[in-house]
């Protein structure tokens, strides 16, 4: 019998077409090596010869259609590296958000009003084309989620039409607080930009290189005026995103660290801080909001004052690399304390991932269900040979 985490991974691989085979983590039920092996054993998924991708087999697509999930396979094998790379990148972003408890299978722009619903850029374009629209044009943003525009940073020096990216992102961000008709670019409330990539080190490189024509993401970083976060595509990033999805997370972390009364209120000019400690500004940097951190540091230096930054252990090296000066004081927040504060589960996945998958009709996906799909495919193949 297939469990929920089996089917969720099968759906994701089917949607991405070329899912990175190396994206496996023991912290997750869905993305554990055992889950991939189970799908391979059932002949629902296969690994490409170069071991770079996981792809869904024809039987896997048949099974999804059988249980009411209509995802079309590739019409032909795609070998263009640019397309394959974008699929890989999109898959990593979706997988990270899945581990954070986000619904990455949104199929209508109205669902993006839910802060836990994500839609890929390719799906947005598909909806627009079906309505004769092309609002997003050739923009390279990876996807949207409620109040966020996601960019996967693969190479900060890669060619990118950053002016088009910025203009398109500003069109999306300008929808803040407005209702937009279904089928057009969805509205973004309290907008922010999120740079995602392989790890914090790679993401820091995307915002610290020389600004110029080639360093596209660096140039875009300078031009964005919205909050801009760094978030890696791995369990550390999923943990960060899960925190950012919690209501009033900064205030709750403030109380966790400094007690029920929290920090002293920010002084005039230090509104970007979370409060004052010994008359010096403090910021909780676990959301890796570089725009806010940089603004606070600049203001503190105007008054020759140190800045105190609280981060997770996995973020400390990245922040120190960005701000190596002695007037930056770093403090570590333990993940275990954060997990207790927000009642996070031991695994990154939502509770119930290892329970049997229940179809829309209320049934289960048993071995018999898989066998029926397999026999139907064989019968169809034989019929095509005799016709």
CA distance 111 to 114: 6
Distance from CA of residue 264 to its chain's centroid? 34
Decide: 44 and 130 in contact? Cβ < 8 Å.
Answer: no
On whether residue 357 sits in a domain, the answer given is: no
On whether residue 386 sits in a domain, the answer given is: yes
CA distance 331 to 92: 29
* 102 and 57, same domain (yes or no): no
* 90 and 235, same domain (yes or no): yes
* 368 and 281, same domain (yes or no): no
The enclosing domain of 9 has a CATH number of 1.10.10
Using pLDDT thresholds of 50, 70 and 90, give the confidence band for residue 135.
low
* 220 and 334, same domain (yes or no): no
Q: Residue 190 belongs to what domain range?
A: 80-245
Residue 177 predicted with pLDDT over 80? no
Question: What does the mean pLDDT of the chain come to?
Answer: 83
Bigger pLDDT: 181 vs 168: 168
Residue 258, pLDDT score:
92
Q: What is the pLDDT of residues 283-339, one digit of tens each?
A: 999 999 999 999 999 999 999 999 999 999 999 999 999 999 889 999 999 999 999
Percent of the chain with pLDDT over 90: 43
In the predicted model, what is the mean pLDDT of residues 260-271? 88
Final residue belonging to a domain, choices 221, 245, 269: 245
* 125 and 189, same domain (yes or no): yes
Distance from CA of residue 148 to its chain's centroid? 10
On whether residue 351 sits in a domain, the answer given is: no
Strands 143-145 and 148-152: antiparallel
Final residue belonging to a domain, choices 217, 245, 273: 245
What is the dihedral sign for C-alpha 143, 149, 155, 158?
Answer: positive
On whether residue 151 sits in a domain, the answer given is: yes
Residue 233: name the closest of 30, 132, 96 by CA: 96
pTM recorded for the entire structure:
0.88
Distance from CA of residue 32 to its chain's centroid? 18
* 307 and 268, same domain (yes or no): yes
* 152 and 57, same domain (yes or no): no
Residue 26, pLDDT score:
84
* 196 and 232, same domain (yes or no): yes
* 282 and 316, same domain (yes or no): yes
Residue 178 predicted with pLDDT over 50? no
Residue 289 φ/ψ, nearest 5 degrees: -85, 90
Using pLDDT thresholds of 50, 70 and 90, give the confidence band for residue 211.
low
Q: Is 281 exposed, middle or buried (0-12, 13-18, 19+ CB in 10 A)?
A: buried
* 228 and 156, same domain (yes or no): yes
* 231 and 281, same domain (yes or no): no
Q: How many domains does the chain contain in total?
A: 3
On whether residue 33 sits in a domain, the answer given is: yes
* 188 and 45, same domain (yes or no): no
Bigger pLDDT: 89 vs 76: 89
């Amino acid at each position: 019998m297939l469990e929920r985490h089996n089917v969720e991974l099968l759906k994701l691989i089917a949607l991405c077409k070329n899912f990175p085979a190396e994206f496996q983590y023991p912290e997750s039920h869905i993305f554990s090596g055992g889950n991939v092996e189970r799908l391979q054993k059932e002949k629902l998924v296969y690994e490409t010869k170069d071991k770079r991708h996981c792809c869904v087999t024809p039987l896997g697509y048949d099974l999804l259609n059988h249980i009411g999930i209509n995802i079309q396979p590739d019409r032909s094998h795609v070998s263009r590296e640019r397309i394959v790379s974008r699929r890989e990148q999109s898959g990593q972003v979706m997988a990270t958000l899945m581990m954070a408890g986000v619904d990455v299978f949104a199929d209508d722009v109205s669902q993006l009003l839910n802060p836990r619903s994500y839609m890929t850029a390719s799906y947005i374009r598909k909806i627009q084309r079906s309505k004769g629209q092309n609002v997003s044009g050739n923009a390279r943003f990876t996807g949207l989620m409620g109040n966020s525009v996601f960019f996967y940073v693969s190479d900060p020096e890669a060619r990118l039409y950053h002016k088009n990216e910025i203009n398109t992102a500003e069109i999306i961000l300008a929808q803040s607080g407005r209702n937009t008709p279904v089928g057009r670019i969805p509205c973004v409330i309290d907008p922010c930009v999120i740079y995602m990539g392989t790890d914090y080190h790679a993401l820091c490189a995307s915002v610290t290189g020389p600004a110029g024509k080639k360093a596209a993401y660096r140039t875009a970083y300078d031009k964005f005026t919205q909050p801009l976060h760094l978030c890696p595509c791995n369990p550390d990033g999923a943990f960060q995103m899960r925190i950012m999805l919690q209501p009033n997370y900064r205030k709750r972390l403030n109380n966790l660290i400094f007690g029920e009364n929290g920090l002293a209120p920010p002084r005039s000019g230090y509104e970007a801080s979370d409060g004052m400690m010994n008359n010096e500004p403090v910021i909780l940097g676990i959301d890796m909001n570089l725009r806010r951190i940089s603004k606070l540091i600049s203001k503190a230096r105007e008054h020759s004052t140190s800045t105190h930054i609280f981060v997770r252990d996995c973020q400390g090296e990245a922040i120190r690399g960005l701000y190596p000066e002695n007037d930056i004081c770093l403090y570590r927040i333990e993940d275990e304390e954060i997990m207790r504060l927000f009642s996070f589960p031991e695994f990154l996945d939502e509770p119930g991932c290892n329970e049997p998958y229940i179809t829309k009709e209320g049934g289960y996906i048993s071995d018999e269900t898989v066998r029926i799909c397999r026999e139907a495919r064989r019968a169809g193949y034989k019929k095509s040979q005799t016709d």
